Amino acid sequence: MRKGTSRKLKMEMRETKFCDLGRRGYREVWELQERTLEKLKEEKLNQKPGNHYLFFVEHDPVYTLGKSGNEANMLIGAIQLRAAHAEFIRVDRGGDITFHGPGQLVVYPIIDLEQFGLGVKDYVDRLEEIVIRTIADYGIQGHRLAGATGVWLEPQSSRARKICAIGVKCSRYVTMHGFALNVNTDLNYFNYIHPCGFVDKGVTSIEKELGHPVDFQEVKEKVLRYFSELLEMNITMESAI
């Protein structure tokens, strides 16, 4: 098979529908992810060509706790949660507790890793690299931290702070959940938790590092471009889901 033909077939197998969901509640999008994952798994089992999906969303304020997380890392109770206009939800991803809210770009890839030639570890590494390259465009140097999935700034110092949390779930190598990049996020919400279970590390955002808000749409476009480059996705726009 010619090289050009092989690449064309690969890109066809990696056709990914992109949908910007705007601002939505967490449970609604969680259900959307589960439906999409089950559809892709069924197509895979029946050896039918299925579409991969990439969802971008801003959530209403919500704290989510991963399946192996410790509820003690949630530092406020139900009454204080209501006062903060936030929810608390246990979820089926990896990782501990984190916050999602306005000004944060949450990205949910629903893809078959086997079609991309990736294992779970390599996939998480690509997600981290997408964020590292995105924030580098704003002059921010992101790093990995051994034993702590996500993207960090100055990870080996006393000022270590996380700018992006990552938590994924895979079923038959089909993924759901993803990452949350703090862009113009209200970081005060993180004062009510031990983010990702850490008591000795902080949280930051692009806005905080630069000292001013950034164009949220521009950040989305950068993230989308790096998904296309690093996962060799053939991305098509989907107007609504």
Active site residues: 196
Question: Please, are residues 124 and 96 in contact by the beta-carbon 8 Å criterion?
Answer: no
Other CB atoms within 10 Å distance of the CB of residue 146: 6
Parallel, antiparallel, or unpaired for β 104-110 and 62-65?
A: unpaired
* H or E stretch at 210: helix 206-210
DSSP annotation of 57 reads E
Parallel, antiparallel, or unpaired for β 143-145 and 87-90?
A: unpaired
- The DSSP bridge partners found for residue 148 are 145
